[in-house]
Amino acid sequence: MQKQFQDCILAFAKLNELKDKFRYYCQACGSYRNDTELLYLCPDCGPGTVKGKPPKGVMKIEYDYEGLRAKNLHLNQLSQQQWLPLLPIEHIENLPNINPEKSPLFSVNSLDGKSLDNTIWLKDDTRQPTFSFKDRASAVVSAFAKERGMRQLVAASTGNAGSSLAGICAAQQQKAVIIVPAKAPLAKLTQILHYGARLVTVEGSYDDAFDLSVAASEHFGWYNRNTAFNPVTIEGKKTAAFELALQFNSRLPDRIFVPTGDGVILSGLYKGFEDLMKLNLIQKMPVLVAVQSALSNNLVRNLTSTSFTVQSSTTIADSISVDIPRNFYMTKQYLTEYQGEWVQVEDAEILSASSVLSRNTGLFAEPAAAAALAGYLVMQRQGRIESGSNNVIMLTGSGLKDLASLQPMLAMPAPVSPNIESLKKLFA
């Protein structure tokens, strides 16, 4: 099986047509690597990772920004090219035919009949091909693997990334192995199986599934999609930042609220805006707000700590339930450099925000996505949202992904006789 892994590396080295489109960059040590290498973590920093702590040496991908600036590209041009000049792939045709589309942006000026003195904008990624934001990463990872002749992909997941990769691989005629905690929501497991992927459930946490998927990549040579491990995932997730810049006509919102587990969506948005700043297409970075459940706060709790500690995650929002935030160091660096903010919310506030969202907008989001709105509502109560400001809420997954979490909030009515008298009594 080790030979299969070496074959993948050799296949990479033969891809001269892709050479020099991008470079890998390690924020930890400042080293660059050629794009013809098959890289996950930085070869110098990755081995220094301590078990039970976030990995070191998570790589970024950088482009020839000077050369791209010389082409005088505009956001509309980049959009029409499906952002290809800023993606680590060569041909648009290698993206899946169910490639994620630009998700809509809806404005909200009142909640529960009360006018707001600022504006909420809902970035609705619940309507992506497999109903979550994770399709952005899966599509680019799949295309990246396709251009390199790799047909077997693997991912660890709490559900959404797994169902996303399974669906995208089905569209691309690739094989997917998805490793998940056995307690993952049934709807997400159903998706994975129905897409034809090989589902492996483990007796343990997401972190156990993550470690097993990495071991599987090393043993079988499967291409690993894991976020905060494979740098290509951030390149897919950053496309949401490109879309927001386009939708706001380069005049970006004041704050963007991001549901946060391991920090990769947050880092992806930062990376996207950073790319646009390097091309002079936007002039400043919006304030990104990392929203974590107080019952899974291992990222924000450690931002100001001198030593990293882990507490077991028990939040109802499974998609952001993470013991070891794998993208901790990159996320911390971004939040520090660009003066980002963070907020913790209680699970009761997440469930309440889910209800507020649905009854006021008709949009149905899973608890992890509703956490972003909960973060906005908490900061608003704290007086931290400026009057007249524009605030984007990232809705990252459909409520149909995790119905069980919402059941305690619902009271199913008892059946009535099918006649008007029953209705008159009911509505008396």
Tell which wins on pLDDT, 14 or 104: 104
Per-residue pLDDT tens over the stretch 345-360 = 999 999 999 999 999 9
Instruction: Evaluate if residue 12 carries a pLDDT over 70.
Output: no
The region that residue 413 occupies, defined by phi over 0 for left and psi between -120 and 50 for alpha, beta otherwise, is: beta
Q: What angle do CA 182, 234, 375 make, to 5 degrees?
A: 70
Q: 37: pLDDT confidence band, cut at 50, 70 and 90?
A: confident
Q: Supply the pLDDT for residue 47.
A: 95
Instruction: Evaluate if residue 51 carries a pLDDT over 80.
Output: yes
Instruction: Evaluate if residue 9 carries a pLDDT over 70.
Output: no
Percent with pLDDT over 90 in the chain: 87
Q: Supply the pLDDT for residue 15.
A: 43
For residue 391, what are the β-bridge partners?
Answer: 120, 255
Instruction: Evaluate if residue 8 carries a pLDDT over 90.
Output: no
Q: Supply the pLDDT for residue 406.
A: 83
Per-residue pLDDT tens over the stretch 309-330 = 999 999 999 999 999 999 999 9
CA distances from 187 to 184, 268, 277, 366 (A): 9, 26, 39, 11
Q: Which two tokens stand for residue 179?
A: 């490793």
> What is the β-pairing status of strands 287-293 and 341-345?
parallel
Instruction: Evaluate if residue 14 carries a pLDDT over 90.
Output: no
Q: Supply the pLDDT for residue 407.
A: 81
Q: 35: pLDDT confidence band, cut at 50, 70 and 90?
A: confident
Q: 19: pLDDT confidence band, cut at 50, 70 and 90?
A: low
Instruction: Evaluate if residue 368 carries a pLDDT over 80.
Output: yes
As a whole number of angstroms, the distance between CA 263 and CA 189 comes to 23
Domain parsing of the chain, residue ranges: 105-130+233-405
DSSP 29-97: T--EEETTS--SB-TTTGGGPPTTSPPS-BEEEEE-HHHHHHTT--HHHHHHTTTGGGSS-S-GGGS-T
As a whole number of angstroms, the distance between CA 153 and CA 195 comes to 14
Across the chain, what does the average pLDDT equal?
93
Residue with tokens 């006021």: 360
CB neighbour list of residue 63: distance below 8 Å, 6 or more residues apart: 21, 22, 85, 86, 275
Q: How confident is the model over 278-296, as a mean pLDDT? A: 97
Instruction: Evaluate if residue 10 carries a pLDDT over 70.
Output: no
105-130+233-405 CATH fold:
Rossmann fold (3.40.50)
Q: Supply the pLDDT for residue 17.
A: 46
Q: How far separated are the first and last CA of the chain, in Å rounded?
A: 71
Out of 2-16, 37-51, 167-181, the most confident range is: 167-181
As a whole number of angstroms, the distance between CA 282 and CA 348 comes to 37
Tell which wins on pLDDT, 248 or 7: 248
For residue 293, what are the β-bridge partners?
Answer: 345
Instruction: Evaluate if residue 69 carries a pLDDT over 60.
Output: yes
Instruction: Evaluate if residue 241 carries a pLDDT over 80.
Output: yes
Tell which wins on pLDDT, 14 or 150: 150
Percent with pLDDT over 70 in the chain: 96
Instruction: Evaluate if residue 3 carries a pLDDT over 60.
Output: no
Q: Are 46 and 40 in contact (CB under 8 A)?
A: yes
Q: Supply the pLDDT for residue 144.
A: 97
Per-residue pLDDT tens over the stretch 205-227 = 988 999 999 999 999 999 999 99
